[in-house]
Structure 1
């Protein structure tokens, strides 16, 4: 079990406002106390990760310890953003979990090829989403050792 209880920021990249709200509610329901930040597309995700434009304040927008990434977003989709993240020597250590409605085998293969840590199809019910968030938080914040940001 992870002994250091430093706060790990979760960064959720999802263009759907309802999905963002459901993920936040599911994280709250699973009693996760980590700070959660949200971005709405791949461009915002990369701006956040590089602390540029409206995400320049490093204290307000700290480096995340985990990214939950939707694949189908406007401007720059999750696949493109993932490719950039995993090709950047400073960002590639951040675990990225794809959380998407896609169940396409091509998406699963491509994202693992690009270096995603896990691929999860978004559950249909809120209860199932809460269960996924509980499992994710237990795994990523209690079991595995994450690199310091």
Structure 2
């Protein structure tokens, strides 16, 4: 079992407050996660965080995140564009990206994997199903998978 330490941040790129809060609650209440979680509400904010630009230019509390949970459908720079930029950047491309979206469109699934997504998850509508999906993601990425340093 991989034991993550406090320096391994989870970046959640999510514009929907309810979905973010549900994800955070599932991780903290059900798994007692001790890793820091950073939320970015849109694609540009996420890229600024990852590249230490804009308001994040002086951040030094954590290195890059160990895992990114990325929504596809956001205003402005959407998750599709963010995913492409992450996976084309030599400094960021090793970070696992889990696309979490309401989209079940096959073209979104195919495009996400072509762009380098590590996993594509359809967000369940019902709370219990949503929590179960988050817990399974946690178990896979933090207990089974070996993440890059």
**TM tier, smaller:** over 0.9
Assess, with a 3 A threshold, how the Cα gap between structure 1 residues 114 and 125 changes in structure 2: closer, same or farther.
Answer: same
Q: 1:50: how far off? A: 0.3
Match of 1:50 in 2: 51
Q: 1:101: how far off? A: 0.6
Match of 1:5 in 2: 4
| Over 3 Å off, 4+ runs | none
Q: Provide the secondary structure at the position in 1 that maps to 2:136.
A: helix
Indicate whether 1:86 and 2:83 are aligned.
no
Question: When the two structures are superposed, what TM-score results if normalisation uses the length of structure 1?
Answer: 0.92
Task: Confirm or deny: 8 A CA contact 1:26 1:133 kept in the other structure.
Answer: yes
Indicate whether 1:122 and 2:103 are aligned.
no
Deviations 1:127-149 (A, max 9, x none): 1122112111111111111111x
Match of 2:37 in 1: 36
User: How many residue pairs end up in the alignment?
Assistant: 147
Deviations 1:93-123 (A, max 9, x none): 0000000010100000000000100000101
Q: 1 CA distance for matches of 2:60 and 2:129?
A: 33
Alignment RMSD, CA only?
Answer: 1.3
Q: 1:63: how far off? A: 1.0
Long gaps (5+) in structure 1: none
Match of 2:103 in 1: 102
Match of 2:23 in 1: 23
Task: Confirm or deny: 8 A CA contact 2:22 2:131 kept in the other structure.
Answer: no
Question: When the two structures are superposed, what TM-score results if normalisation uses the length of structure 2?
Answer: 0.92
Match of 2:147 in 1: 146
Q: 2 CA distance for matches of 1:89 and 1:66?
A: 16
Task: Confirm or deny: 8 A CA contact 1:26 1:126 kept in the other structure.
Answer: no
Q: 1:61: how far off? A: 5.1
